[in-house]
A and B are shown apart, each in its own frame.
Chain A
Amino acid sequence: QKEVEQNSGPLSVPEGAIASLNCTYSDRGSQSFFWYRQYSGKSPELIMFIYSNGDKEDGRFTAQLNKASQYVSLLIRDSQPSDSATYLCAVHRDTDKLIFGTGTRLQVFP
C-alpha cells in the first residue's frame, strides 16, 4: 500500500464547475496535510494546508480532512481553465519527511 494515494486522472470538469480531488494516507500518526499545484514544466506551489479535522476555506479552494477515515480532499469552486494542472497531496508527521502522492491531473475545459 502506498503511503499517500491519489487517482492519477485526468479529472475533466467544465469551466464553472466544482472540481473534487481526493487523497488517502496510510499513517494514522500524520499530523499535517498539504495540497500543491504544479503546472507543466514548473515547480510545485503550495496552495493549502490543513491540520485539524473539518474544512478549511481559502478563496475558491476548500481543504477537507477526515483523520478517522485517513482522507483529505481539495475542492475547487468555479473551476477555471487556468486551474488545469497536476495537484499533489502531501502528508507530514513530526520531524519525518514530507510524503507526496503521485498527483491528480485536472483538466478544466471551456
Chain B
Amino acid sequence: GENVEQHPSTLSVQEGDSAVIKCTYSDSASNYFPWYKQELGKRPQLIIDIRSNVGEKKDQRIAVTLNKTAKHFSLHITETQPEDSAVYFCAASILGTGKLIFGQGTTLQVKP
C-alpha cells in the first residue's frame, strides 16, 4: 500500500544552525506534498507545500525540495530559532482520492 517514510525521528540542533528532514514516498502518482508543524498539545498546521511540477519552493527560512525520480522530498529550515521546536510531519497525496498519507513525524529541538 501507500507509504511515507520520514527521517530522522528526532533532531537536535543549536540555535542558528540548519535542520533538514527527509521523506520518501511509495506512490509514484503522488502530486502534492505538504509539511505540517505541530507544537506540543496543539493541532498540526500547514507550513509549506509543493506540487509535483515544481522542484523547489521557499518561504523565508523554510524551503522544500522535491525529487520525483527518486520519490523523495525534504524540508530545510535555516537559521533555526527556539520557536521552531516542534514535531514536523511530511505527507504525500494519493491521486484521485484527496487523501494524504503522513510520515511518522520528526521531533525537532532547537537549543538556545
> A and B bound?
no
